[in-house]
Amino acid sequence: MRPVSGNEPSSHSRTSESTQQLKEDLHHLTQTIEELVNATADDSRSNIKELRERAEKRLKETRARLESRGERLYGEARDNVTQQADACDRYVHDNPWTSIGIGAGVGVVIGMLIGRR
């Protein structure tokens, strides 16, 4: 595991910021779509065209942000799992008998639980 330094934002704060940004993006997109729907009640063709272009632009921006966040979160999760697997592998190699004992203990507990049925 890598230590969290004071300069590095925590995973929770990054997730919170990401969630807040997503809410804002969806709010802006919703507003633009509502404006577009309201504008269709008017006969002003130029107004509809302008609002449609704005809605398309915001939709593309929101999609790009979501894809970027998804890729970043996937990368972070993959890196975290890899680090945890490496730490587990190092522990097993450094402490083979302890690892065997833990495995045996877990096996006994699972066997007892299954045997109760």
Mean pLDDT of all residues in 45-66: 79
Q: How many CB atoms lie within 10 A of CB 55?
A: 19
pLDDT score of 83 more than 90: yes
> What is the C-alpha separation between 112 and 104, in angstroms, rounded?
12
Statement: residue 62 has pLDDT above 50: yes
Q: Give the residue-averaged pLDDT of 46-69.
A: 80
Percent with pLDDT over 90 in the chain: 27
* Residue 1 pLDDT level (bands cut at 50, 70, 90): very low
